[in-house]
Chain A
């Protein structure tokens, strides 16, 4: 059957003079290039213009950069952002590695359950963690007042860079844990045995063998977390505003939306600086990870890795992890629940005095809230499906075709990792302003979906392409020998074998897209609100009750989806 079809189609193609596979390949590659470059070129261009893009007669110069670097506020921003990002990365990676080793390699009690629980914060957007922490740990928070009352002084201040880094670390630690735990679990026992045979103790083995072997995931998650921390918006907006601590993202936000006159040139220049910075980081990471063969630990000869015996430390460490989860996640989330069901939450009055269901009804009755919910769910579902399909095509072309620019395509698909969300947003804002025919999708959820999709291309690519490399090329050849062309092979064989990867890409995208707000900041219009941004904006307006209710709903939707996803696709959703 395939043979016949193949010949028929071949005839049709020759008639047209263009082969279908080339059409698809060049089409997909061209579209990817447009999508990835669309946000970058306008950002670069506005950074060089002396006036807003929409005013005619702009003069190109480096003046904005000169102004940016001579602006003392920007110096402070750079200092703050780096201090915050470094501290956040340090905290989350150290915590993540410790947890990964404890759960993956020791005889810690209840480690399989703990391993699951530690991942829960991955469903929480840093935004929600920040809301929740304010309720418990701000200067007038419940826990702060409780401790202050007993100690007669206030041992911490959430509104400082270390305080903010702590909040961010809670939300980001699961990333480090996730990457490190899989590596910890498959450590090569032969190497540890070698160390043991020359008399090394458990701690020595840990620091000389086990941890060095985990270098690739540690490095990878370090750069990932550092990048995310560099572009953190919610934390400086919620915690840093009153004390005047600005980060990169809030600097961009305030110069654009908050100030009396938006300074597009300055924002553009700052965005370009951030873009270069993150690109540099990603390049460094890539070159550091080039020689990964050194870290191969799964070998032909399978033996179970040794379990480190913790002895009396077992229960202390167990208590430590439980306490961490309680203080970092559960207690603040309980605060969020209280916030959602009270009119005002103040430690001065018992919460039941203000008990109300009003916040919940507001969330389901105010159009802006309702729209943000439906839009976010639609973007996550449709955007998730479309991005997955599109990235599957990219992966097939990049890995399984003779397409001459496949290396470039491969690079383009992972490059958005170096593009902070807000910059994707600014870029698409200008791109849609400049390219008039595209103006119609500006202010719609389609515009947002495209921006979000571009931002998470690498996530989907990361979920799909490893699977593709595991599918032997002999299957392609088999199809080709019976006459199938490239496209038929992809469709009939590779797509089907890729299904599990496509599902997990979809689930991963859903979790990310429903939380996403950074790239929406400059793209949202009435009718296209999304949950994350609505939450941030309304929280800043002081509408804390409805926002808390909306946060809980967002967490709920994500968890239900993940639960169903796991059932339906029988897939582990973590990449």
Chain B
């Protein structure tokens, strides 16, 4: 009688509890491959004065780099907070793991400001947090690096290969420079109604309200990088760009993601989208003949995806390896494959059809770009700007 009370549920519980570690959940996620599984150095036994180089990272890296590589073997899972989807990450992680197979990379696709906020909350509570943060939120980065001093001031060996504007603050690097585009539905918009720029779109929409009313989309200003783009556009193109936005506003339904914008452009719910992120590029080949695109002739915003190692990072050596890989020639090519726009000046058109340089050529020079950079005036001007934008967009 003793042993049999209420057995089925008890048995289920016990079995499930026993299964938990197998399923790879619980307090500690599945451990990274044990250090012992790391590939033994394939190079011949080192000569006395030559540093051991177990991994094929670029030759111009300093000799001390090997220490970072070695130290990373003792670390846990590399946790990255970013605004990129897994599909964007895939080629990068694959390339990274070819070099450093013992580092398991886990990426979390977060909303713009969540990359920082989650970090602040977790640091305060002493919980484990990001080892590497990547997001496109200039004001957030200024707060993070300058005001809160949360970024590790890491000197990447790739520095000499990168343009100065990509490293605006100590420890803050740039992952990619992504252009914002105009997308349109080719089946619903005849050639003559496809806009070349914002001013053009405003003109077309005023002339053909029945085609465009409620059928234009853009990013909602609530998204931090949408604010940054709109801010930079108005800053660079002057007060009269407000007039354009105020014409477009009442006809536009703002969305929160590029993926949704693309889906609804494909379904015909929208006929045109402006300031659509080039993150949609990998999906465009499938939609040939349905969705077309072009740069924006009165100013193609190009935003910088910032990256830094936060001070509370636990797996700091793994994070350094990832940061350097992202900036390396190979890493930049991988981002290109993942749908982002790399900017390293030594990329060739074969490796990467779309880079910062090729865009500049395509739109007729860098001065045609609106560089969405780290503007100190943006944060103080934000509330008034957002209010005016919301008013223009009937929000």
Q: In chain B, what residue has the closest Cβ to A76?
A: B395
* CB-contacts of B373-395 with A (<8 A): 382, 393-395
User: In angstroms, how far is the closest chain B Cβ from the Cβ of A493?
Assistant: 10
Indicate whether A406 reaches chain B with its CB closer than 8 angstroms: no
* CA–CA, A243 and B261, complex, Å: 14
Q: Decide if A260 touches B137 in the complex (CB within 8 Å).
A: yes
Indicate whether B55 reaches chain A with its CB closer than 8 angstroms: no
* CB-contacts of A39-86 with B (<8 A): 52-55
Contacts of B261 in A (CB 8 A): 542
Segment of A108-116, A291-299, A438-446 in the binding face: A438-446
Per-residue CB proximity of B17-41 to A under 8 Å, as 1/0? 1011001111101000000000000
Assuming A378-B16, A432-B125, is B260 touching A540 (CB within 8 A)?
yes
Assuming A258-B111, A526-B79, is B12 touching A445 (CB within 8 A)?
no
User: In angstroms, how far is the closest chain A Cβ from the Cβ of B11?
Assistant: 10
Q: Decide if B259 touches A444 in the complex (CB within 8 Å).
A: no
* CB-contacts of B113-152 with A (<8 A): 113-114, 117, 120-121, 123-128, 137, 139-140
Per-residue CB proximity of A412-449 to B under 8 Å, as 1/0? 00000000000000000100111010011111111000
* CA–CA, A386 and B287, complex, Å: 49
* CA–CA, A261 and B267, complex, Å: 34
User: In angstroms, how far is the closest chain A Cβ from the Cβ of B37?
Assistant: 19
User: In angstroms, how far is the closest chain B Cβ from the Cβ of A91?
Assistant: 25
* CB-contacts of B258-287 with A (<8 A): 258-264, 266-269, 286-287
User: In angstroms, how far is the closest chain B Cβ from the Cβ of A301?
Assistant: 38
Q: Decide if A442 touches B125 in the complex (CB within 8 Å).
A: yes
* CA–CA, A257 and B24, complex, Å: 28
Q: Decide if A244 touches B256 in the complex (CB within 8 Å).
A: no
Q: Decide if B109 touches A541 in the complex (CB within 8 Å).
A: yes
Q: Decide if B5 touches A496 in the complex (CB within 8 Å).
A: yes
Q: In chain A, what residue has the closest Cβ to B81?
A: A526
Contacts of A385 in B (CB 8 A): 9, 12-13, 16
Q: In chain B, what residue has the closest Cβ to A445?
A: B25
* CA–CA, A357 and B372, complex, Å: 39
* CA–CA, A242 and B268, complex, Å: 15
* CB-contacts of B281-308 with A (<8 A): 286-287, 290
Indicate whether A382 reaches chain B with its CB closer than 8 angstroms: yes
Assuming A262-B113, A344-B263, A436-B126, is B13 touching A366 (CB within 8 A)?
no
Assuming A54-B120, A344-B266, A542-B262, is B256 touching A241 (CB within 8 A)?
yes
Indicate whether A506 reaches chain B with its CB closer than 8 angstroms: yes
Q: Decide if A439 touches B9 in the complex (CB within 8 Å).
A: no
Q: Decide if B126 touches A439 in the complex (CB within 8 Å).
A: yes
Indicate whether B353 reaches chain A with its CB closer than 8 angstroms: no
Q: Decide if B267 touches A347 in the complex (CB within 8 Å).
A: yes
Indicate whether B101 reaches chain A with its CB closer than 8 angstroms: no
* CB-contacts of A322-352 with B (<8 A): 343-349
Q: Decide if B260 touches A542 in the complex (CB within 8 Å).
A: yes
Q: Decide if A257 touches B111 in the complex (CB within 8 Å).
A: yes
Q: Decide if A446 touches B266 in the complex (CB within 8 Å).
A: no
Indicate whether B97 reaches chain A with its CB closer than 8 angstroms: no
Segment of B46-54, B218-226, B312-320 in the binding face: B218-226
Q: Decide if A244 touches B394 in the complex (CB within 8 Å).
A: yes
User: In angstroms, how far is the closest chain B Cβ from the Cβ of A351?
Assistant: 12
Indicate whether B6 reaches chain A with its CB closer than 8 angstroms: yes
Contacts of B187 in A (CB 8 A): 348
Contacts of B121 in A (CB 8 A): 52, 54, 429, 433
Q: Decide if A1 touches B1 in the complex (CB within 8 Å).
A: yes
Q: In chain B, what residue has the closest Cβ to A55?
A: B124
- For B23, B188, B258, B266, the residue with the greatest tally of chain A CB atoms inside 10 Å of its CB is B266
Contacts of B13 in A (CB 8 A): 382, 385-386, 389
A contact residues, range: 35 or more
Q: In chain B, what residue has the closest Cβ to A140?
A: B269
User: In angstroms, how far is the closest chain B Cβ from the Cβ of A121?
Assistant: 25
Q: Decide if B125 touches A525 in the complex (CB within 8 Å).
A: no
Indicate whether A528 reaches chain B with its CB closer than 8 angstroms: yes
* CA–CA, A385 and B12, complex, Å: 8
Indicate whether A160 reaches chain B with its CB closer than 8 angstroms: no
> Which among B9, B16, B113, B256 is the interface contact of A388 at CB below 8 angstroms?
B9
User: In angstroms, how far is the closest chain B Cβ from the Cβ of A146?
Assistant: 13
User: In angstroms, how far is the closest chain A Cβ from the Cβ of B164?
Assistant: 27
Indicate whether A502 reaches chain B with its CB closer than 8 angstroms: yes
Indicate whether A25 reaches chain B with its CB closer than 8 angstroms: no
Contacts of B1 in A (CB 8 A): 1, 492
Contacts of A367 in B (CB 8 A): 86, 106
Contacts of A261 in B (CB 8 A): 113
* CB-contacts of A464-484 with B (<8 A): none
Q: Decide if A439 touches B223 in the complex (CB within 8 Å).
A: no
> Which among B106, B109, B140, B260 is the interface contact of A260 at CB below 8 angstroms?
B140
Contacts of A243 in B (CB 8 A): 253
Q: In chain B, what residue has the closest Cβ to A256?
A: B117
> Which among B9, B23, B255, B382 is the interface contact of A389 at CB below 8 angstroms?
B9
The total number of A-B Cβ pairs within 8 Å is 174
Indicate whether A221 reaches chain B with its CB closer than 8 angstroms: no
* CA–CA, A443 and B12, complex, Å: 25
Contacts of A204 in B (CB 8 A): none
Indicate whether B176 reaches chain A with its CB closer than 8 angstroms: no
Indicate whether B211 reaches chain A with its CB closer than 8 angstroms: no
User: In angstroms, how far is the closest chain B Cβ from the Cβ of A194?
Assistant: 47
Indicate whether A491 reaches chain B with its CB closer than 8 angstroms: yes
Indicate whether B193 reaches chain A with its CB closer than 8 angstroms: no
> Which among A140, A375, A434, A537 is the interface contact of B264 at CB below 8 angstroms?
A140
Indicate whether B85 reaches chain A with its CB closer than 8 angstroms: yes
Q: Decide if A346 touches B290 in the complex (CB within 8 Å).
A: yes
User: In angstroms, how far is the closest chain A Cβ from the Cβ of B144?
Assistant: 12
Contacts of A436 in B (CB 8 A): 125-126
Assuming A54-B120, A244-B394, is B29 touching A527 (CB within 8 A)?
yes
* CB-contacts of A203-245 with B (<8 A): 241-244
Indicate whether A410 reaches chain B with its CB closer than 8 angstroms: no
Contacts of B185 in A (CB 8 A): 348
Indicate whether A303 reaches chain B with its CB closer than 8 angstroms: no
Q: Decide if A378 touches B256 in the complex (CB within 8 Å).
A: no
Per-residue CB proximity of A370-413 to B under 8 Å, as 1/0? 01001100100110011011000000000000000000000000
Q: Decide if A244 touches B395 in the complex (CB within 8 Å).
A: yes
Q: For the A-B complex with A242-B217, A382-B16 known, give 8 more contacts whose Cβ atoms are closer than 8 Å.
A: A54-B121, A257-B111, A257-B114, A261-B113, A367-B106, A374-B23, A381-B12, A444-B25
Q: Across chains A and B, which 5 residue pairs bring their CB atoms closest together, nearest first?
A: A542-B259, A54-B124, A140-B269, A242-B253, A433-B125
Binding site for A on B (CB under 8 A): 1, 5-6, 9, 12-13, 16-17, 19-20, 23-27, 29, 79, 85-86, 106-109, 111-114, 117, 120-121, 123-128, 137, 139-140, 185, 187-188, 217, 220, 222-224, 227, 253-264, 266-269, 286-287, 290, 382, 393-395
